[in-house]
Amino acid sequence: MSKAFTKEGEGGEEDSPEEADSLPPNIKNYMTPPGFKALQDEMRQLQRVERPKIVEVVSWAAGNGDRSENGDYIYGKKRLREIDRRLRYLSKRIESAEIVNPAQQKGLEQVFFGATVTYLRAGKENSVKLVGVDEADLTQGKISWISPLARALMKARPGDTVELRAPGGAETLELLDVQYKTDA
């Protein structure tokens, strides 16, 4: 079919982030204060900086005449859709966020949201921080609080042994330390 008879949005559209990263039903969207601020900063950047620049380019390109072969116009419209999709996603996440400050959780010896946990896995010491779904970054040692590892560690105390059911089989983890601290 000729491109002339298709809508601009047809074909090649990826699943929206709302579908790809949605939380399971009846699960709260817990976040740490730095994670919440990062989402707000990204939303502000998109609204105040990136989107206005793209709108300016698209309006300039639209004034150049034929839009069907105008790369600036076509790319700009596509980028605007991506930005708007991301803004909707961020807005929903920010609205549903429940902020939990790990530093305010004093005297807890059990593992809950926001805990930094040190454990032994196959004789090797590891440390992870349980954070919100949108904050998870394994390269920084931050895992989602609904991940299989976090669920295995949840409610355990230092000295406890827990079982992690991984795709490669069950593993035994020994909890060494639990701390609640902020990372600014």
Contacts 24+ apart (CB under 8 A), 111-115: 111/153, 111/154, 111/155, 111/156, 111/157, 111/175, 111/178, 112/154, 112/155, 113/30, 113/145, 114/32, 114/180, 115/178, 115/179, 115/180
Q: Which of 59, 92, 88, 63 minimizes the C-alpha distance to 76? A: 59
**What range does the domain containing 72 cover?**
25-99
CATH of the domain at 149: 3.10.50.30
Structural domain total, the chain: 2
- Residue 97 three-state SS: strand
Q: What is the mean pLDDT of residues 169-181?
A: 91
pLDDT in tens, 77-133: 999 999 999 999 999 999 999 999 888 877 788 999 999 999 998 889 999 999 999
pLDDT in tens, 151-162: 999 999 999 999
Lowest-pLDDT range of 1-10, 30-39, 90-99: 1-10
Task: Check whether residue 68 and residue 131 sit in a common domain.
Answer: no
Task: Check whether residue 111 and residue 175 sit in a common domain.
Answer: yes
Last-in-domain residue among 84, 99, 114: 99
In a domain, 70, yes or no: yes
Task: Check whether residue 107 and residue 174 sit in a common domain.
Answer: yes
Question: In the prediction, which pLDDT does 150 show?
Answer: 93
Confidence of residue 13 (pLDDT cuts 50, 70, 90): very low
Task: Check whether residue 107 and residue 91 sit in a common domain.
Answer: no
Q: Is the CB of residue 153 less than 8 Å from the CB of residue 163?
A: no
pLDDT exceeds cutoff 70 at 169: yes
Question: In the prediction, which pLDDT does 120 show?
Answer: 93
Alpha-carbon gap, residue 173 to 158, rounded angstroms? 11
In a domain, 61, yes or no: yes
Confidence of residue 22 (pLDDT cuts 50, 70, 90): low
Alpha-carbon gap, residue 118 to 176, rounded angstroms? 5
Query: Does residue 5 or residue 43 have the better pLDDT?
Result: 43
Question: In the prediction, which pLDDT does 21 show?
Answer: 57
